[in-house]
Structure formats: structure tokens, C-alpha cells
């Protein structure tokens, strides 16, 4: 699914993130703080849809890419936003 808006708010894990820019690159921010970028890796993948990935603040490419830009951004945010707590598994340790 192609991202056709230049700006949008994206709710995720209790925060609202902003994507702003336009093809081929959108800045990802929370409260005015730049967290990275969503970029088009390829304008037309195997099924004719754009392929997206992320770019970190230091210019490195993210480790997830595909056509579902929203899930790619959310996965990226889980890795880079310090306000998102690490998920807990509910396990308290190994039993013996």
C-alpha cells in the first residue's frame, strides 16, 4: 500500500508520531524530535507497489523493508524510540 500523503499522524504505543515530507522520503518525529526517516527503497517492487525501508539518524539503512510502510515505521520505532519500553515476556526466569 503506497503512502500518498505528505504529512500524517501515526499513533503507536501511546504516542503520536508524525511523518512529514513526501516521496521518496518522510521524516519520522515525536514531539518535534527527529527519530529517523521512512524512505522508498524501490518505486516498484515485485507486485508493482513501492518498497519502503527506514534510515537511521546516522544514515544507516533500517533492517526491515517491504510494502507495508506503517508496519515498517512501527517496527523501527520499537527499536529506536527510548520512550517505548522493551516488551516483557511475563517470564520471571528459568525454572529448575
> What per-residue confidence (pLDDT) applies to 87?
59
Look at 19 and 90; give whichever has higher pLDDT: 19
Average pLDDT, the chain: 89
Inform me whether the pLDDT recorded for 96 exceeds 60: no
Please give the backbone phi and psi of residue 55, each rounded to the nearest 5 degrees, phi first: -130, 130
CA nearest to 18, candidates 5, 6, 7: 7
Grid cell of 88 as nine digits: 516483557
Amino acid at each position: 500500500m503506497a503512502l500518498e500523503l505528505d504529512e500524517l499522524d501515526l499513533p503507536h504505543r501511546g504516542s503520536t508520531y508524525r511523518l512529514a515530507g513526501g516521496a521518496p522520503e518522510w521524516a519520522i518525529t515525536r514531539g518535534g524530535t527527529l527519530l529517523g526517516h521512512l524512505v522508498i527503497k524501490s518505486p516498484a517492487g515485485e507486485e508493482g507497489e513501492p518498497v519502503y525501508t527506514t534510515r537511521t539518524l546516522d544514515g544507516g539503512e533500517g533492517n526491515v523493508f517491504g510494502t507495508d510502510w506503517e508496519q515498517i515505521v512501527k517496527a523501527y520505532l520499537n527499536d529506536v524510540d527510548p520512550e517505548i519500553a522493551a516488551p516483557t515476556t511475563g517470564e520471571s526466569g528459568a525454572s529448575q
